[in-house]
Amino acid sequence: MSAKEPFEIPDGMRRVCRRFERWRNGHKARLPIPEALWGAAAEAAREHGVFRASKALHLEYGKLKRMVEAGPAPARPTMGGATFLELAPPQAVSLAECLIELEGPRGKMRIQWKGATAPDLAALSRILWESA
């Protein structure tokens, strides 16, 4: 971006920018920025980058960077507090077993498969064995 190009504020940061403008317009004296606004600025910086946020929100880069580094990581959505839920199919009582042994001019190949269903390993092994 050259110095002559206008700085474009990302859509996701415009709301925070308006909050800062309203707060600054409502205070003539130099007052510390409220923690809630710093939190919103840090969240915007995590999403859009510290440099871009500091420039759009007219904040000191170094302080905003420290706020981002010190603050909590963005929350990830969870389902009822669980972050991971494994769904496993029910185990079959007896598992099918398949053993394929191939011998050819390039050597020997042995494929052993244990599972509820055996795929067509013979066709797969022929394709792998004959190609190349």
Query: What is residue 1's predicted lDDT score, i.e. its pLDDT?
Result: 45
Tell me the domain boundaries of the chain: 11-70, 96-130
Question: What pTM was estimated for this model as a whole?
Answer: 0.49
Are 71 and 42 spatial neighbours (Cβ–Cβ below 8 Å)?
yes
pLDDT digit string (tens) for 112-132? Answer: 777 655 556 666 666 666 655
The whole-angstrom separation of Cα 3 and Cα 18 is: 24
DSSP 70-84: HSPPPPPP-BTTBS-
pLDDT digit string (tens) for 24-36? Answer: 888 777 888 888 8
Query: What is residue 95's predicted lDDT score, i.e. its pLDDT?
Result: 63
